[in-house]
Amino acid sequence: MKWANKSLEELEEVYWEEIAPEFRDDGYDPTTEYPSYQWLVEHGYRGFRYPFSGQQNSHNMTLAGFFADHVGLSSPSGSTFEWQGDHQATHDALNQYLESLAQSGLSQTTIETYQYELSTLLRLYQEEHGHVDIVSIADEGPSSLRDHWEPILSDLDRELGSRESKQKYALRLKAFYDLFYDDNNPFATLLSEVEWTDHDVSDPGNLDVSQVAGIYHSTASLDEQLVVLLTAGCGLSTSDCATLRTDRVQFTDLDEGLDEVGFYIEGRANSLVPIEKNVEAIKRRLNEHSYVFESHEAGRTHVTTETVRRWFKAAARRAGVSLRGDTPTPRDARKFFGNVQDDSPILAALQTAAAFYSGGEEDD
């Protein structure tokens, strides 16, 4: 059956003629509530989700939206959780996964624990990618899922203490993705390659002023310099950096006596940072481009989050800076910004870097 080509009316007909009778046989009322995705999978209707997911979604609605708005049914349990972000398809899939656990007899306390674990992973995903669409990548293939989740597992390794805790969180996510694959779940392959570490969670492993100064001093390109400024100095996430438009970056004169000029991000509080090197090169980039980090790849307007991470980590490695034995990431720089109550320590860190810097302006 070619699910992706079916109209809403045809899908509703399939529901009433084929799915509803089986759903009723399992003790549910198909006229008032709809089946969870887990139920659909277990009863041979995995493909029923395809017309509402990924690139196949020609109806501009989620599976839950189809059942609720088109067919007029209620959610399986009537209960929902508060998830990060605004991607309804992801929220629906997570809620349906938790509902399947409830139907299997797990206690509410256990389900709430699982919800917290998934919510933590979703938060890390949003911090990295700027959105919470973890559903579409399951339809895009194994490489997409790996590319999107690999840096998140690295962040999870840094955030939690014991190997057991990290493994538990990751296995919960694997179980969620089991819903999308008959077998050969690519997340399981990725998980088998992760080397978790133990560390003391009482040590947050935060960057300090001298480390930020060292990283900034060690930048070897305009891209690296801007990434450090935008993450540690302006508090932007990896995704925000990758997608930052040049018209949001505003130059201004400084009165602190540290540097002559600086810039800030329009609409973002406490984002003023001084610029003491490559000033003209930065101004040219802002004047000549639409994005701060434009991509040279065909079909792309700006760089990927992985490129931003690579630039930051390259500067951190040159500086010899590590946190818990690992190379810091842009997320650590953003945490540094968040831990600072005002912008003077950031200015001091960059001033320290400027004192060490002996190079001139970049030509490009």
Give DSSP secondary structure letters for 236-277. Answer: --HHHHHT-BGGGEEEEE--SSS-SEEEEETT-TT--EEE-S
Q: 237-260 b/e with 16+ CB inside 10 Å = b? A: bbbbbbbbebebbeeeebeeeebe
- Give the max Cα distance, the chain: 77
Instruction: Give the Cα separation of 344 and 354 in Å (integer).
Output: 15
197-227 confidence digits (pLDDT tens): 776 655 557 888 888 988 998 999 999 999 9
The dihedral through the CA atoms of 56, 60, 64, 68 has a sign that is negative
For the sheet with 261-265, list strands across it: 249-253, 261-265, 273-275
Q: Does pTM top 0.85 for this prediction? A: no
pLDDT of residue 220: 93
Band of residue 264 on the pLDDT scale cut at 50, 70, 90: confident
pLDDT of residue 43: 81
Band of residue 312 on the pLDDT scale cut at 50, 70, 90: very high
Identify the three-state secondary structure at position 302: strand
What would the two tokens of residue 63 be?
């599976």
**Does residue 145 carry a pLDDT above 70?**
yes
Instruction: Give the Cα separation of 137 and 141 in Å (integer).
Output: 7
Q: For the residues 25-49, what does the mean pLDDT come to?
A: 79
Cβ contact 48:106 at 8 Å:
no
Instruction: Give the Cα separation of 288 and 9 in Å (integer).
Output: 50
